[in-house]
Amino acid sequence: MIDNATPLLTVDDLHVRFATRQGLIHAVRGVGFTVGREKLGIVGESGSGKSMTGRAILRLVPPPGSVTARRIDFSGTDLLGASERDMRQIRGKRISMVMQDPKFSLNPVMTIGRQIAEAYRANSGAPKAQARRRALEMLAAVRIRDPERVYGAYPHELSGGMGQRAMIAMMLIRDPDLLIADEPTSALDVTVQMQVLAIIDDLVAQRGMGLIFISHDLNLVASFCDRVLIMYAGRIVETCRAADLHNAQHPYTRGLLESLPRIDRPATELAVLRRDASWSLDTAEPRP
């Protein structure tokens, strides 16, 4: 039964700080949002804190980073207070994360099939034969034409697109309630990118999964997601429906949109974003 009313994940006043020799770096500064069974996009430039937000939810911020929040609630579980043991049950099984580059997130000395089967067997304790069958089914579900071959292949024997599909298969085999995808397609060619997105899109629609889609690509997020958060300097500066992104109000969002070259609108000079110091100081609540 899909329940659309109660949010899957609630994040309130999230802060991520890094104590470095150069002083305290405040990477995420009071971010709050909810995710239901929908596709939520988080857009921002490098250093805006979008990836750290994704990692903080799974408590994967590396030291010396510290995460504080008023509340991080995942369908009734307090993720801030949960023990490491509980977190291991949640990671992968209930919340999965797909990283940017399959080259660095797959184990290079283990076949694809073994890695996927291992992910399946990790807490389910299913017999090996069943795990193998499920892994092959999953590879077919992410539209890999020859699952048997890919099952026995090592990561370096696959193209980037294939590797990323294998990663997605591994994340989805546990049937998570929430998928956090951090730039899942930016290392891929546009046509492959579209195919991978279609797979995620179908899974969200069919399984009622929630998706947090972290990206720097405004056009992609506008066309793919349901709702978008725009981050700048560790804060959410604007929240809007993805379809309305092109009518965004905040000068930062407008500036980003205008700095994109467009095929249908030739220009001798592209608009250059002028940053305003007040954007990062601005404590005004983002409009819902």
Partner 1 sequence: MIDVTGLSVVFGQGAAAVHALRGIAFRVAEGESYGLVGESGSGKSTVLRVLSGLLMNWSGEVVIAGRPQVPRRSRAFHKLVQMVFQDPYGSLHPRHTVDRTLAEPVAIHRLGDVDRRIAVALTDVGLDLSFRFRYPHQLSGGQRQRVAIARALILEPRILLLDEPTSALDVSVQAEILNLLMRLRRERNLTFLLVSHNLAVVAHMCDRLSVMREGVIVEELTAATLRAQEPTHPYSRQLFRASTGYDRAAVDRLEAVA
The distance of closest approach from Cβ of residue 251 to partner 1 in the complex, given in angstroms and rounded to an integer, is 12
Among 22, 23, 81, 264, interactor with partner 1 by CB under 8 A: 264
Tell whether residue 30 is a contact of partner 1 (CB under 8 A): no
Q: Which residue has the tokens 């085999």?
A: 173
Rounded Cα gap, residues 248 and 193, in angstroms: 25
How far is CA 208 from each of CA 39, 75, 260, rounded to the nearest angstrom? 10, 14, 33
Binding map of partner 1 across residues 199-238, x = CB under 8 A, - = no contact: --x--------------x-xxx-xxx--------------
- Least Cα distance to 170 among 105, 217, 222, 216 occurs for 105
Q: Kindly state the helix (H) or strand (E) to which residue 232 belongs, with its residue range.
A: strand 227-232
- Enter the DSSP assignment of 243: G
Structure letter (DSSP) for residue 261: -
Residue 251 in the binding site for partner 1 (CB under 8 A): no
Q: Which stretch binds partner 1 (CB under 8 A): 54-62, 64-72, 125-133, 254-262?
A: 254-262
- End-to-end distance of the chain based on CA atoms, in angstroms? 27
Q: How far is CA 150 from CA 122, 137, 138, 140, 167, in A?
A: 21, 12, 12, 10, 12
How near is the Cβ of 104 to partner 1 at its closest, in Å?
A: 16
What is the footprint of partner 1 within residues 118-177 (CB under 8 A)?
160
194 near partner 1 (CB under 8 A): yes
**Shortest separation between residue 205's beta carbon and partner 1, angstroms:** 9
The one among 51, 96, 115, 193 contacting partner 1 by CB under 8 A: 193
111: left (phi over 0), alpha (psi -120 to 50) or beta: beta
CB of 35 to partner 1, least distance (A): 19
Binding-residue total with partner 1 (CB under 8 A): 36
Contact stretch for partner 1 (CB under 8 A) within 11-19, 26-34, 175-183, 194-202: 194-202
| Burial track 81-100 (b if 16+ CB lie within 10 A, e otherwise) | ebeeeeeeebbbbbbbbbbb
Which span sits near partner 1 by CB under 8 A: 51-59, 81-89, 94-102, 196-204? 196-204
CA dist 173 → 124, 151, 154, 193 (Å): 11, 14, 19, 20
Residue type, 209: M
| Nearer CB in complex with partner 1: 128/246 | 246
How far is 230 from 44, CA to CA, in rounded Å?
6
Which residue from 157, 189, 244, 276 is in contact with partner 1, where contact means CB under 8 A? 189
Nearer to partner 1, 110 or 260 (CB): 260
Contact with partner 1 (CB under 8 A) among 114, 254, 273, 279: 273
Nearer to partner 1 (CB atom), residue 44 or residue 176: 44
Positions touching partner 1 (CB under 8 A) are: 45-46, 160, 189-195, 197-198, 201, 216, 218-220, 222-224, 255-256, 259-264, 266-273
